Amino acid sequence: MTAFPCKPALLLTLVALTGFAASPARAQSTVADGEKLAFDRGKGNCLTCHVIRGGDLPGTIGPELKDIKTKYPDRNELVAILFDETKRNPQTMMPPFGRNRLLTDQEISAIVDFLQTL
């Protein structure tokens, strides 16, 4: 009985430690997930408009996506572009994936992880 008050704290520590240990593997898999989403014609469909390394039959309506980390060192900028590029450029052809709920925040985050490897 006396040990009971300590349990939640112990559990929290365990959860935190497990999450910490798992994070490198998770980072790896979000890059893979992001690539899949970006190439998926029913999801990101980025290849319709962008040349992306490793992607088949790209279109050229938008610029080639490369050296992304140099161009956009701040990942929040990329999230903003994916969420709603019309904010930067009202005339853009690029769909506002976040605003239109074509992609969830989590999917956008995975795609940004992938973009940062290009």
Minimum CB distance to ligand HEC, residue 23 (Å): 23
Whether the Cβ atoms of residue 34 and residue 114 lie closer than 8 Å to each other: yes
CB 44 within 8 A of CB 97: yes
Per CB under 6 A, does 14 bind ligand HEC?
no
In angstroms, how far is CA 67 from the centroid of its own chain? 16
Q: Which of 30, 33, 35, 44 binds ligand HEC (CB under 6 A)?
A: 44
Residue 3 neighbours by CB under 8 Å, 6+ apart: none
By C-beta, is 36 or 94 nearer to ligand HEC? 94
Binding site for ligand HEC (CB under 6 A): 38, 44-46, 48-50, 61-63, 65, 71, 78, 81-82, 85, 88-89, 92-95, 97, 111, 115
